[in-house]
Structure 1
């Protein structure tokens, strides 16, 4: 068995390379539909509440839809079950002595599903498009990259600063690589995705259904045992369990409210590890949150446990940070800095000159959300009136920083630093108060970037950056809901890669 590669965090480390040792998961007993198509081909029938609105990874790759897009697109790296970067399209990489340049060595002989070569020029084109395309959701994640130099199969990243986070950053979530030929027309790519991932789309009905087949040219096709994928948009959470039970689907995203009935139906219900966190977003550039006392009053008004009890059905947990407890970036010193204290919230509002009922806010959200009703109730208890407003085009004013008050849930990033900067940085897409950032945050993040991931002081340096970010008045973290899935027992277990769905080694039914 090949040795597992070292982290390439140290300057001039030996080039990281590996053949991932992949163990086939035993086939479990079939129940309901096996997913075997005509001729015995194994078919994954996945229904998702996160069916991609866009198939251009530059537009859609940063949200929960990256899991579906990963069927089509591969990336330079991916994460293993420890959340560490391991090879994907790049078979190895190394930093220079200063830590401000990193070279990725691509696997030879790879091609996109349109026949174009997977080379350094394709990587360069992908980075530049993510940085420059007007509707890119990724440009804020790539600020450490100044330029990319393409030399055959070697992609040399010249960085704006020392940054040892790059291998973790450039995984499935932030840089899924499309064929540069297809990406010349982003609108066409959006409807006809072309990547170098494990599957190729053969039919796409926008917003409804995608049919895919195994990509024989995928670099690890030997360990992909699923022949076909039928991905559909879940019509309603209440219908998912019945569809799984009758074999219409054999894999599904699952709402926590359906977990009990799924278990009673004999389905496998499991939690895939992740970095999910929900928050209340405040715009401190707008009244009344331009007064720190009002922002803090909201913090003390929030009862996090109520979100968990009412929304997660025993599967979630409270959080006051963008990371779960036990994760390397979670800062124990910041835990419970703002405990539930309605009396203190009312006192702060009074000190700011507000009587009960003085403040009336519009809470703008994209769709009905019971979390909004909890926020409405909890703030009413301290004298703040909240009107819930649904705007289906919510993303436009949110990312333009035009809203005053909103809710947001994130799936995090594989790089903890990118999670921090997305929330607290001056250009962070999740920072409704841009360009505001808390004092000391920029310096703390720069120190983390300069610290190799295998440095003995990395954890404490990272937690200090989390602590600096949490001084922000712009975000109130509430709870974490898990990545919850259900499947027919005919689908074998998935690797426990945090936040990702990895189909390597997964089997369906009897595929002999």
Structure 2
């Protein structure tokens, strides 16, 4: 879940205590970074609720956690996996084993070595820790062996997606020593990324400093970071103008004001897509005609017009149009047609007003009101219910009807299985799986990414997944960042914020 809904998905642990922790093993004295010659002052709408990457790395927060935790790979501007902690990797001939070769001499900020054993511990913890948000993404991994600086990953199927999968989104690697106490790690993060946390006020503020032990520290030119949880959205632009902040993720509604204020608005490419989630295991969505009625009742363009302020586009797939996995042949399979929607409901035995649904969401959000209005036009009554603990019933698959928006995944196969797989975290209808999807996604995994037929195979899997009755996709929009002109341009890596080479003018 991105932006507003992410903050409500999981309560900020200990936020009410406003406990300031001076973190052991990270260095520094916890002093404010204000006044530093190269200080990034970032205010964020998705300030981490958890600093344990196994728990908090699944949503938009992975961008902030990536300042502290490095991964085996990272993503370049093409969306391809490139080396990070691992300098290289290779598959065996069958494609069911991959060996990652780590860079020598790397250390976590607590002095522990970054080696094969650390990778093994990170993967096993992500698979087994009770509160892991990542276990569903690692189903291809059978076991991991450590051999010095090598991590040998044995798979239970051929899967050429692993280098893209084990990047910043799914495998941010913590010190195994620190991770022995996950609860402590959650508030005292210890990684091998470009920065270390020196001060943390849970849910409110974190102060970080450059990590000289990071393997690419020579290309990190920011000395300190002040990361704060964004106040009311209406004050962010004025805070940027006055220098309280010099970097902020913003909503499309703020972009015009930011530009008029003389700020740079960075349009970061991404894989974002929003959807309406249905549970086909519960009435009335156990009736296919009702599902199709909802599909035809949705006017995607209204979401774009009212919510994205010119930055978004409608999509009926878990990807924006133009992305490699987007299947053009499946486009507009269920066009907006309220008359057809009413007819389908009648065929299912429902008169106007018979169907009454609770739309459960974590907080007030305008897309819920659009859904409510559009379904009312075809005779379906929707009551919007706010549940701040919405994440628990959603991921337990106890809800009948909800909304979700994702930041996408670096591995397209991971995005597809998250939505359409029988154990997919975004499949509200678990264990339901559309017919043909299992075989189609297996073929994707078996196809090398550099194979000339890869895109064709990938789009076929998208096509199979879209037979799902559990999801109705609505719109996509990029990530928007407003920044002071004192902050240099950012690499256009899709969905990721890469601090490599970024500079801040002295005194900013």
Bucket of the pairwise TM-score, normalised by the shorter protein: over 0.9
Conserved? CA contact 1:330–1:466, under 8 Å: yes
Among 321, 326, 349, the residue aligned to 1:325: 321
Report what 2:200 is aligned to. Answer: 204
Whether 1:432 and 2:428 are equivalent positions in the alignment is: yes
SS at 2:176's partner residue?
coil
Report what 1:108 is aligned to. Answer: 104
Among 271, 275, 299, the residue aligned to 2:295: 299
Report what 1:186 is aligned to. Answer: 182
> What are the within-5 Å matches in structure 2 for residues 132-143 of structure 1?
132-143=128-139
SS at 2:424's partner residue?
coil
The whole-number CA distance in structure 2 between the counterparts of 1:78 and 1:122 is: 18
Conserved? CA contact 1:294–1:349, under 8 Å: yes
The whole-number CA distance in structure 1 between the counterparts of 2:269 and 2:496 is: 8
The whole-number CA distance in structure 2 between the counterparts of 1:60 and 1:342 is: 40
Report what 1:144 is aligned to. Answer: 140
SS at 1:92's partner residue?
strand
Report what 2:28 is aligned to. Answer: none
The whole-number CA distance in structure 1 between the counterparts of 2:33 and 2:405 is: 36
Whether 1:499 and 2:485 are equivalent positions in the alignment is: no
Report what 1:279 is aligned to. Answer: 275
SS at 1:83's partner residue?
coil
Report what 1:161 is aligned to. Answer: 157
The whole-number CA distance in structure 2 between the counterparts of 1:150 and 1:439 is: 38
The whole-number CA distance in structure 2 between the counterparts of 1:511 and 1:73 is: 27
SS at 1:162's partner residue?
coil
Report what 1:174 is aligned to. Answer: 170
Normalised to the residue count of structure 2, the TM-score between the two structures is 0.93
Report what 2:398 is aligned to. Answer: 402
Runs of 4 or more, structure 1, over 4 Å off, are none
Shift of 1:37: 4.9
SS at 1:45's partner residue?
strand
Report what 2:3 is aligned to. Answer: none
The whole-number CA distance in structure 1 between the counterparts of 2:153 and 2:322 is: 32
The whole-number CA distance in structure 2 between the counterparts of 1:408 and 1:132 is: 25
Among 223, 234, 241, the residue aligned to 2:237: 241
Conserved? CA contact 2:137–2:418, under 8 Å: yes
SS at 1:191's partner residue?
coil
The whole-number CA distance in structure 2 between the counterparts of 1:479 and 1:240 is: 25
Report what 1:347 is aligned to. Answer: 343
Shift of 1:105: 0.1
Q: Any gaps of 5 or more consecutive residues in structure 1?
A: 1-34
Normalised to the residue count of structure 1, the TM-score between the two structures is 0.92
Report what 2:382 is aligned to. Answer: 386
Shift of 1:255: 1.0
Shift of 1:510: 3.7
Report what 2:358 is aligned to. Answer: 362
Conserved? CA contact 1:320–1:335, under 8 Å: yes
Report what 2:9 is aligned to. Answer: none
The whole-number CA distance in structure 1 between the counterparts of 2:455 and 2:312 is: 25
Change (3 A) 1:467 1:357: same
Shift of 1:41: 2.4
Conserved? CA contact 1:120–1:154, under 8 Å: yes
Report what 1:17 is aligned to. Answer: none
Shift of 1:481: 2.2
SS at 1:74's partner residue?
coil
SS at 1:422's partner residue?
helix
Change (3 A) 1:118 1:36: closer
Whether 1:62 and 2:78 are equivalent positions in the alignment is: no
Shift of 1:150: 0.3
Whether 1:128 and 2:128 are equivalent positions in the alignment is: no
Aligned-residue CA RMSD (Å): 1.1
The aligned length equals 477
The whole-number CA distance in structure 2 between the counterparts of 1:127 and 1:270 is: 34
Superposed CA deviations along residues 12-60 of structure 1, whole A, max 9, x for unmatched, are xxxxxxxxxxxxxxxxxxxxxxx9954x520000000000100000011
The whole-number CA distance in structure 1 between the counterparts of 2:507 and 2:93 is: 49
Shift of 1:325: 1.2
SS at 2:213's partner residue?
coil
Superposed CA deviations along residues 127-169 of structure 1, whole A, max 9, x for unmatched, are 0000001110100000000000000000000001000000000
Shift of 1:482: 1.7
The whole-number CA distance in structure 2 between the counterparts of 1:255 and 1:329 is: 26
SS at 2:399's partner residue?
coil
The whole-number CA distance in structure 2 between the counterparts of 1:177 and 1:377 is: 44
Conserved? CA contact 1:244–1:488, under 8 Å: yes
The whole-number CA distance in structure 2 between the counterparts of 1:75 and 1:162 is: 22
Q: Any gaps of 5 or more consecutive residues in structure 2?
A: 1-31
The whole-number CA distance in structure 2 between the counterparts of 1:326 and 1:476 is: 19
The whole-number CA distance in structure 1 between the counterparts of 2:50 and 2:213 is: 24
Report what 1:474 is aligned to. Answer: 470
Conserved? CA contact 1:36–1:42, under 8 Å: no
Report what 1:263 is aligned to. Answer: 259
SS at 1:200's partner residue?
strand
The whole-number CA distance in structure 2 between the counterparts of 1:486 and 1:365 is: 28
Conserved? CA contact 1:36–1:508, under 8 Å: no
